[in-house]
Amino acid sequence: MPSVLITGATKGIGQAASRVFAAAGYDLALVARNRAALEALADELAASGSRVVLASVDLADASALEARISALYPPGTAPDVVINNAGAAYTGSLVDMPVERWQWLIQLNLTSVLQVCRVVVPLMRTAGGGRIINVSSHAAHNAFPNWGGYCVSKAALASFSRCLAVEERPHGIQVCTLTLGAVNTPLWDSETVDSDFDRRAMLEPTRAAEALLYLAQQPSTQVVEDLTLMPAAGVL
């Protein structure tokens, strides 16, 4: 069976992707902070026949991340697909944003992706290839007042993805982004987000998960470098 690593697996897009990929016949390596939520999801997905392994790790903790991801892969194994989905948001003006919040946001939305790739890319090289999908946002290409930190982190992620794609192409590793408009996930309930958007008009997580599966199942002879999915209502 093909295998997929999904970060932020217990909520929103990550949870929906875990279910969609299990239904499509993938073995799963699921990463999230909450061990109890991971175990509950694993129990649910095991019924589909998928093999599920777990790593409970806070991606905001740079010191622990790489070792915990490495432990998912015994020697000689590698994921076929990696979905860097975990992330966070912060609302507030750039100059008033506490430096510790800036560092936390950049760690979650950008640096943790680098750290995951530091683990999985060498494994993929040895295996002869693979696909990395980074979940981005239309905020990467736009400027929204009081969302500056988030916009910067996603713009950097988009640039990171393009650079990694060029570097790893000779090794048979494809890198792409799923660029999303607003998705109705628990992110909007976060204590760091203040928003009054109409969540009924947002994309549903399952639609994003299906787009991830579409990207993952592209033949090795082609790559969709970026897929943009927006609510029909446009920018909310």
Catalytic site residue from 26, 73, 150, 214: 150
Pairing outcome for strands 52-56 and 130-137: unpaired
User: Is 150 marked active-site?
Assistant: yes
Give the span between the Cα atoms of 105 and 27, in whole angstroms. 30
Cβ partners under 8 Å of residue 89, min gap 6: 105, 147, 150, 187, 190, 192, 193
**Residues forming the active site:** 150
